[in-house]
Structure 1
Amino acid sequence: MDITLYLHAMTGLLVIIDPIGSALIFNSLTSGSDQKYRNLMAIKSVLISGVTLILFGNYGEALFYHLGININSLRISGGLLLFYTAFMMITQELKFAKTEKDADISVFPMSIPLLAGPGTLTLAILLFSQNTEGNSVVSVSAAIISVLVITLFAMVTSKYLKKVIGKTGDEILRRFLGVILAALAIQFIYEGVRNITM
């Protein structure tokens, strides 16, 4: 396993998935529900997101290749999409309305668009494409699993997390992570432009 790629993937995924922010949204969507339902929704959300990210990350590049799309074009467009996501994280307030009691929220909105949205899927493809002697699959998959385990823990304990961090803490954290994601997006754009012009 490539530790450098694993840490790079971990950083990017932690920033865009934002386990604490996702957990606070999860808490607001499941408030008033019993712990069994909350645990079930958390586990289903993480499993669906993990399978989606790993499958799309592994086979997304091949799909784009068959469509005639160069990986460097994907880096540039993916970087622009991630930058837009970062911009929205920094400038806008993220809100989701509470659904009816005990409705299945595992696919929408928890998995898509929160945990495995367009930005995360693009990031997964870009990370899996950084093939260092075949180690990218293991390294990036391990990073995805690690981040989703952290997210699962945050969602299961979101009642207590909400009391500790509060709305103000979440706002500060989300905007700080948005700045990091913007820098990561610019790096992807830079690499795409550099490789196309070489």
Structure 2
Amino acid sequence: MIDVLLNALVVFFVVIDPIGLVPVFIGLTQGFTPAARRRIAVRGCLIAFVIILFFAYFGEIVLNALSIEMPAFRIAGGALLFWIAFEMLFEKRSERKSKTADEARTEEEARHIAVFPMAIPLMAGPGAITTIMLMMDRYGGDMVGQGTVLAAAALVLIGSAILFMASEAVQKALGQTIIHTVSRVLGIVLAALAAQTIIAGITAIYPPG
């Protein structure tokens, strides 16, 4: 199960992109006390995990209610992940996150920051929801495999909370250039994973000879 855990950790780390969220978290929590920032970090990650957990076990029920089969979802989900990878490569995602953060500051008055935009849509957004549903389907019937996937999601969110609580030190240590570089490298990895997901969906519909 080590290979399953490592694979899931990489996927969730790329999709959630906690390093790329550090500057956004700093911008969202300016003026808050260190204790308040810690509460926002922990609460936001907990809410994000609850959302991911819900879609892990009830996402397929939603798809069935809409008469959507998993191969079609794999293809659509792969396309969505590929778009996220495109945004990461060309810095569009950072611009969108910053814009979302600015809107939240004026509309939600900072007290709901843990829910919006930290948990939704920055961490438990379309990419994370699509990923958990695809990976839970991959290990359908394998309780150990599914538990490993959920453990990987939890570990990435715990790591995210730690990064957010030390966000200023992380940004100072890494610098904006390194953060952008890491984000783009992760974008390439995500593009490859997206292509693999689309291929899996197509081969499920049209099995090779």
Alignment match, 2:20:
21
Inter-partner Cα distance in structure 2 for 1:112 and 1:102: 14
Contact in 2 for aligned 1:129/1:136 (Cα 8 Å): no
2:181 to 165, 172, 184: 172
Alignment match, 1:116:
124
Which has the larger share of helix? 2
Contact in 2 for aligned 1:24/1:155 (Cα 8 Å): no
Alignment match, 2:115:
107
Post-superposition shift, 1:4? 2.3
Post-superposition shift, 1:63? 1.9
Inter-partner Cα distance in structure 2 for 1:15 and 1:157: 20
Give the length in aligned residue pairs.
197
Task: Read off the aligned partner of 2:105 and give its amino acid letter.
Answer: T
Post-superposition shift, 1:102? 4.4
Contact in 1 for aligned 2:28/2:110 (Cα 8 Å): no
Residue aligned with 1:33, SS: coil
Post-superposition shift, 1:166? 1.7
- Which aligned pairs between 1:61-100 and structure 2 lie closer than 5 A? 61-91=60-90, 92=92, 93-94=94-95, 95=98, 96-97=101-102, 99=105
Inter-partner Cα distance in structure 1 for 2:115 and 2:31: 20
Post-superposition shift, 1:141? 1.0
**How large is the Cα RMSD of the aligned pairs?**
1.5
Inter-partner Cα distance in structure 2 for 1:81 and 1:109: 20
Unaligned runs of 5+ in 2: none
- Tell me, yes or no, if structure 1 residue 146 matches structure 2 residue 145: no
Residue aligned with 1:135, SS: helix
Contact in 2 for aligned 1:33/1:102 (Cα 8 Å): no
Inter-partner Cα distance in structure 2 for 1:21 and 1:51: 22
Inter-partner Cα distance in structure 1 for 2:84 and 2:54: 22
Report percent identity of matched pairs: 35
Output one character per residue of 1:31-68: Cα deviation in whole Å (capped at 9) or x when no partner.
22110110110011000000100111221012212321
Unaligned runs of 5+ in 1: none
TM-score between the two structures when normalised by the length of structure 1: 0.94
Post-superposition shift, 1:191? 0.5
**Segments of 4+ moved more than 6 angstroms:** none
TM-score between the two structures when normalised by the length of structure 2: 0.89
Residue aligned with 2:51, SS: helix
Contact in 2 for aligned 1:61/1:125 (Cα 8 Å): yes
